[in-house]
Each structure stands twice: as structure tokens, then as C-alpha cells.
Amino acid sequence: MTKLLFDPHDIPVQSLAGEAALGPERLTAPWLRARFANPPAWHPESSDEHLLGAKIATLTPASVLMPIVQREDGLTLMFTLRSEHLTDHGGQISLPGGRREEHDASAVETALRETEEEVGLDRRHVEVLGALPDYLTVTGYRVTPVVSLVQPPFAIQADPEEVAEVFEVPLAFLMDGAHHQLRAVEQANGVRRAFYAMPYERFFIWGATAGMLRNLFHFLRA
């Protein structure tokens, strides 16, 4: 079982990323469709986790879905709180997804299948916009983030073996550099690791999930 060498909640905030929030005109379904249809030149961020993951000889392919829900009062992003007993990232905030299976035809298929299995979101409600660059993790995964729009109403039925809770966070909160905390820790093995955290109410979003959100932020603000 993968064990953390530190408790991320206990690591003090060193700084805030601080970039300006995305304007409300960019937080609409039509704008997002246009951005993915005609992407700009931009550069993903190289986090410590991504760089450490790059040193792993064999990475397991995986996908996550970034489900942007079209609520009447604004776009939100759906997350899962992973069950405590899971081998990787148990008890942490994640995007729905998982490792690629041999029968999956593509990274998109993996994201859709895993989301159906984990939270019961039927793919007929999901409009895939595109994918962000792969994100490498220290637990040995090469993760493809698949960005999508989700149209309510839809039913959610979480698999209790994998998901303890499903919740949504306003996209406007996540796409604001003032909410992106940079924290750093000297681990017991002597390796210094910096990571982003985006606490929202009682949920502590950090690590790979926060790193992928940072890349979404860079892509949308480019």
C-alpha cells in the first residue's frame, strides 16, 4: 500500500500562486467549447510530483474525467472523496477515473468507463471537450485528464468500495490563482517536495488533482 511520508494538511502555506481569476466570460459552456476547438499556444506546469513521476521506469496508463457541470447558477467541477481503504490515494480528493484496461479503445473511453463505474454518471450526459497533457504521479501513473461538460439532470450512484462521497466545487473558485496555495515539505527520506493545495470548505484538494487543475487553469487563461 502506498503510504504518504507526510500529512499535507499540516504543511504550512509558503505562498499563493496569485494569478488573476478567470473572467466570467470564460466560465461558460460556449466559451469552453470554443477554447478546446481552437486551443492556444500554452505550456503545462511542471510540478515536483510530475518530475518525480518521470523518473519511474514503467508508468501505468490511466485517465480521469474533469466533469464540468452546467448548473443554473454557474459551472461546477465534480470530485470524489476516495474510500479510506484504497491502495493509492485512499481518503483523498480525486477526479473520477482509474487505470486503463486492455479493452479500452482510448484514454477517453477509460475516463468515461471509470466514471460510470465509480459514480454512476451515464455517459449520455457527458460532452467530451478534449484532453490536457498527461500528468505523471509518484505512485506510478501516467494520467490523461479528459475535460467534459455535463448536462443536468443526471443521477449519481457512488460505488462505496471506491468512493466515499461525490461533491462539486464552483469552477470560478478553482480558476482563481488566489486560491492556489503552494506548500513544501522536507520528507523523511530527504526529498523536498512542493505541491499545490486548493482547500474548499471541508475538502482539501491537493497533489496530482491540484496539479491537473493548475494545468486546466493555464490552458483556459492562455
101-105 mean pLDDT: 96
Pairing of strands 13-16, 74-82: unpaired
> pTM value?
0.93
Q: Report yes or no on 7 lying in a domain.
A: no
Higher per-residue confidence, 177 vs 188? 177
Supply the pLDDT for residue 93: 95
Helical residues (DSSP H) of 42-132, grouped into ranges: 48-53, 107-119
Supply the pLDDT for residue 125: 97
Q: Report yes or no on 134 lying in a domain.
A: yes
Q: What is the CATH number of the domain that holds 186?
A: 3.90.79.10
Q: Report yes or no on 207 lying in a domain.
A: yes
Q: Report yes or no on 163 lying in a domain.
A: yes
Neighbours of 141 (CB within 10 A): 25
pLDDT digits (tens, 9 = 90+) for 120-141: 999 999 999 999 999 999 889 9
162-176 mean pLDDT: 96
10-15 mean pLDDT: 91
23-33 mean pLDDT: 98
Query: What is the band of 191 on the pLDDT scale with cuts at 50, 70, 90?
Result: confident
Neighbours of 30 (CB within 10 A): 8
Q: Report yes or no on 169 lying in a domain.
A: yes
Q: What percent of the chain has pLDDT over 70?
A: 95
What's the number of domains the chain is made of?
Answer: 1
Supply the pLDDT for residue 1: 38
Measured distance CA(117)–CA(110) in Å, rounded: 10
Supply the pLDDT for residue 6: 75
Q: Report yes or no on 3 lying in a domain.
A: no
Residue 134 sits in which domain range?
13-221
Higher per-residue confidence, 148 vs 85? 148
Q: Report yes or no on 41 lying in a domain.
A: yes
Query: What is the band of 4 on the pLDDT scale with cuts at 50, 70, 90?
Result: low
Query: Which backbone phi and psi does 8 adopt, to 5 degrees?
Result: -60, -25
Looking at residue 134, the DSSP 8-state letter turns out to be: P
Query: Which backbone phi and psi does 207 adopt, to 5 degrees?
Result: 65, -135
Q: Report yes or no on 20 lying in a domain.
A: yes
Measured distance CA(134)–CA(212) in Å, rounded: 9
Measured distance CA(146)–CA(41) in Å, rounded: 19
Query: What is the band of 44 on the pLDDT scale with cuts at 50, 70, 90?
Result: very high
Supply the pLDDT for residue 2: 47
